[in-house]
Amino acid sequence: MICKPEPTLLFTKRTDNLRLHASQISFPGGAREPDDHNLIETALRESYEEINILPNQVQILGKMQPIKSHSGYLVTPIVGLLSTKVSYYKNPAEVAAIFEVPLKHALTLTHHHSIMINNADHKKRLFFYRYNQYLIWGLTATILNKLALQLV
């Protein structure tokens, strides 16, 4: 989250040449590496690698409950606060675009949509959320929906 008079959430659009989740919208972050001491360190390292935000520029607010993705990954969202003075820029090898969504818009549950999909022998809910030209779906939209339910 960026601490502006009208707070925003920071998203990235992944490049289309990545092996996994190419061209998808995501929050900054990624997979834990052996040298990471904990998940907060992972989130801070990945944010630095993707959009050049230094770890000491993030005030960690907490962790959300782990969420299992449709592809089987267990993801623990880390919530952090950035000041308006923080500058960021994309790593072109990983990030095609960086954009912000007003927090109020993102947390308005009527903007969140879902469909049920059949996956093997059980059904799963797939969330999606649109902001301007961006379609946020899957795990990122699920995280956004869970955040909205916790904060509203």
Query: Which carries the bigger pLDDT value, residue 14 or residue 100?
Result: 100
- How many CB atoms sit inside 10 A of residue 55's CB? 14
**pLDDT the model gives residue 19:** 62
Looking at 10-14, 15-19, 134-138, which range is the least confident one? Answer: 15-19
Which residue in 43, 71, 68 sits closest to 55, CA to CA? 43
Q: What is the mean pLDDT of residues 78-86?
A: 94
Exposure b/e, 64-87, CB count within 10 A at least 16 = b? eeeeeeeeeeebbbbbbebeeebe
Over residues 11-24, the mean pLDDT reads 74
8 A C-beta contact, residue 13 and residue 50: no
For position 118, what pLDDT does the model report? 86
pLDDT at 72 over 90: no
Q: What is the spatial distance between Cα 111 and Cα 135, in angstroms, rounded to a whole number?
A: 12
